[in-house]
Each structure stands twice: as structure tokens, then as C-alpha cells.
Copies of this chain bind each other. A is one copy, B any other.
Amino acid sequence: MATKRALRPTSKVLPEDGRAHNRAMLLQHLFHTGPASRAELARVTGLTRVTVSDLAASLIADGLVAELGPRAEGRVGKPGTRLRLRTDAFQIVAIDLTADTRLHGAVLDLSGDRKARKDVAVEGLDGDEALAAVLEFARELVALADRPLLGVGIGSPGVVDAHGTVIQAPNRGWYGVGLAETLSRALSLPVHVANDANAAVLGEFTFGAASASGVLVVTVGQGVGAGIVVDGALVRGHGDAAGELGHVTVVDERDDVDHAPLGRAQQCACGRRGCLETVLSVPALRHRIAGLDAAERDVALAAVGRRLGVALAPVVSALNLSEVILSGPPELLGGPLRDAALRTIRERTIPVIGTGLDLRMTRLEEDGTLLGAAVLVLSAELGFG
């Protein structure tokens, strides 16, 4: 009987908001399912053919949709003229600020295809300097676009609020930096910012065919982050800090539980000991396996995977996730580490939770955050993703 509940109807809804929503539905469907006639769209959405025609006209006028000629298949009745999303008509600038020493960016079209890319090495920029460097970098990317730009999407390390203000990013020396507002003003374009791991999960969700009902992406690089989508929405958390998994304690003092000891809890950059980051970050993993032979290596990686599994089991259980995705160097994460993590989660959760779970490497290679940054723009400007 229960259908849908908005626990907090927080802001007014006008008829025009409904129309915007319905327009986005059409785009969403064309984006995910490909070309379709007005009549098909009407059947799928539940709107009438008349209304869909009207909405389609506005989309065509905006240059977002184009007619594609009638369908060839022989069926009864007048063949419908199929509509397609003009994924080539607009472009998006996407920027990944994850790395400490490189700025990574691209110009993408609406289907996520890379039209141009740009990488720049930077050295230990801090505070305003770093902000200026990002702005300059964004300017250069904007200049590379050869179609109208929908906006700029940025995945940044640190805690980022819904308005695109970086609440804190210690590595950059950013505290309360209005990144979106600053860039938006300077570039005269919409700018959307999210935490890099949160962006990554959006990328997986839209371009990696991840499940809508419950995904967690673990990003492993210099540090460890996570982004979560449950029930079709990104989890932001009380202080916009959702996904801070890198600094959960996973190695206790005198920890010899799993017959493949990790040694004593290591000091972490955050000042505490035994954080997930101290065993799962790329530098930590490389250091751990340095000089080991293949067999020893597998044991060492599995031990880390087991720790990851122990930390993830309560999260997977609590949220009834259907998918956990690892993003990072596949030679480190893809083998014994992944296997051990999945096995551990299955062992430590009740079958109803663990059985339906998949744990896999990303299929987006290194572009998850970049694509996710584009999704920020897609969903904010066009209402879908």
C-alpha cells in the first residue's frame, strides 16, 4: 500500500517545476534507452502523447533533441518518428583535483566521450594559489570546447557542501573556499563541485551501469575515499562528509586475528593509528609488497582485502548494498585483495545481504571521478544522470 514518501517536503513545487521534471524524464529515457518515438515516450512516462509532443518540441527548440526519421521495422499503423538525444550538441568541462601534483581535466560531450583532454603538473600549491591554478586550468579547458558548454564539473578532495563550497581540504589548505561560486563568477558558467569519491560513484552510476539501489565506490589512490548511492540518491551526510572511510580504524594494537598479520598499527597522516588508509592507499600497498615474491604478495594483499572487508561488512549490511566497486590500480586491487574483501564481507554478513552482493573493479579505468564531475553538470543543468 505504501508507495512513496517524502519525509521532508521542504520546498514548494510549482507546475513549472513539474514540467522541468517531466522534460528531464524524457531526456533521461533517451539517454539511457536510446532513440524513441513520442508515442513510446508517452507510454513509458505515463504522460499523454499530446504532452510529450509539446515537451519534445521544447527540447528540439533548445537543441537537445533531434528527429531521426521513421523506424524501418514493418508494424501496423503509422510509423513513429524517432527522437534522439543530441549528445554532440553540448559539451561539459570536467576536472579531477584528486591528485596532489597534477590537474586532470577534459572536455566531454553528453555521452561522456572525451573531445579533448589536458593534464598539468603542479607543485604543492596551497590556498589561494591553488585556487588560482584551478581557475586558470578551467579557463584553458573552456577554450578547448567547440560546442556550447553546459557547465563545469569538479571532483575535489575534502568535504564539499551542496553549494560547491569546499568546507575543508587539508591537502590544499582549503577551508570554506567557495570554489563553485568563484569559478562560476570568473567563467560566467554554471560550476558544480563535489567530493572526488562522491563524483566517482555518480560516474559509476551513470556511465558504469552501477545499480541504482545501492552502490558504494571505494577510491584508492594517495588516500582512500568512498561515495555512496542508495535508493537512487547520493548520500551527503549530516556535515556533507559522507564517505570518509579512509580514516576508520581497521588495525588494532596486538592485532593477529587473521593469521596473516599486518603488523602493528601504523601512524596515519590524520594523527591517529591503524586507519584504513594506512594499509589500503596506493603508497601503503606498494610499500607492503615491495620485494615480495608472487605468493607472499598475494598473501599480503589478501590480508589488506580482509581488513577492507571487515570495515565494509557493517556498511554493506546496514545499507543492503548491491554493489561495491573498487577504483584504483587494478594490479593492486583487482586480484587477491578484491577476492579476500568479498569473501570477508560474505563471511561476516547474513546471506540475505551477502549473497546479492557484487564486489568488482571499476570499468571506467581512471576516469570515474572525471565522468562523475560531468554527471554533476548533467544532472544539475538538465535534470538527469
A2–B192 contact, CB under 8 A? Answer: yes
- For the residues of A in contact with B, the DSSP-based class is loop
Cβ contacts under 8 Å, A191 to chain B: 1
Q: Which of B194, B257, B313 contacts A254 (CB 8 A)?
A: B257
B-side contacts of A222, CB under 8 Å: none
Judging by beta carbons under 8 Å apart, are A228 and B318 in contact? yes
Residue interface bits A99-126, CB-to-B below 8 A is 1, else 0: 0000000000000000000000000000
Residues in B whose Cβ lies below 8 Å from that of A193: 1-2
Q: CA of A193 to CA of B320 in the docked complex: distance in angstroms?
A: 19
With a CB–CB cut-off of 8 A, which chain B residues contact A329? none
Alpha-carbon distance A379/B248, docked complex (angstroms): 36
Q: Are A45 and B235 in contact (CB under 8 A)?
A: no
A154 to chain B, nearest CB (A): 10
Q: Residues of A within 8 Å of B, CB-based: how many?
A: 99
Q: Is the CB of A352 within 8 A of B241?
A: yes
A242 contacts across to B, CB distance below 8 A: 230, 318-320
Which of B216, B239, B256 interacts with A356 by CB under 8 Å?
Answer: B239
A13 — nearest CB in chain B belongs to which residue?
Answer: B18
Closest B residue to A51 by beta carbon equals: B12
Q: How far is the CB of A385 from chain B (nearest CB, A)?
A: 5
Cβ of A10 to closest chain B Cβ, rounded Å: 7
Within 8 A of B (CB), among A234-256: 234-245, 247-249, 252, 254-256
- Taking A12-B25, A347-B249 as contacts, is the C-beta distance between A320 and B7 under 8 angstroms? no
Task: State which of B8, B205, B226, B321 has its C-beta within 8 Å of the C-beta of A237.
Answer: B321
Q: Does A72 contact B (CB under 8 A)?
A: no
A57 within 8 A of B: no
In the complex, whether A214 has a CB less than 8 A from a CB of chain B is yes
- Contact: B231 with A233, CB < 8 Å? yes
Kindly identify, within residues 308 to 336 of chain A, every residue whose CB is under 8 Å from any CB belonging to chain B: 311-315, 317-322
Bound CA–CA A14/B45 (angstroms): 12
Chain A stretch 7-45: residues in CB contact (< 8 A) with chain B: 7-15, 17-18, 21-22, 24-25, 28, 45
A-B contact pairs, 13 of them (CB 8 A): A2-B162, A2-B180, A5-B233, A7-B212, A10-B25, A11-B45, A12-B21, A13-B13, A228-B318, A235-B318, A242-B319, A248-B313, A312-B314
A residues near B (Cβ < 8 Å) are 1-15, 17-18, 21-22, 24-25, 28, 45-47, 159, 162-164, 168, 180-181, 184, 190-194, 202, 205, 211-214, 216, 226, 228-245, 247-249, 252, 254-257, 270, 272, 275, 311-315, 317-322, 347-350, 352-353, 356, 376, 379-380, 383-385
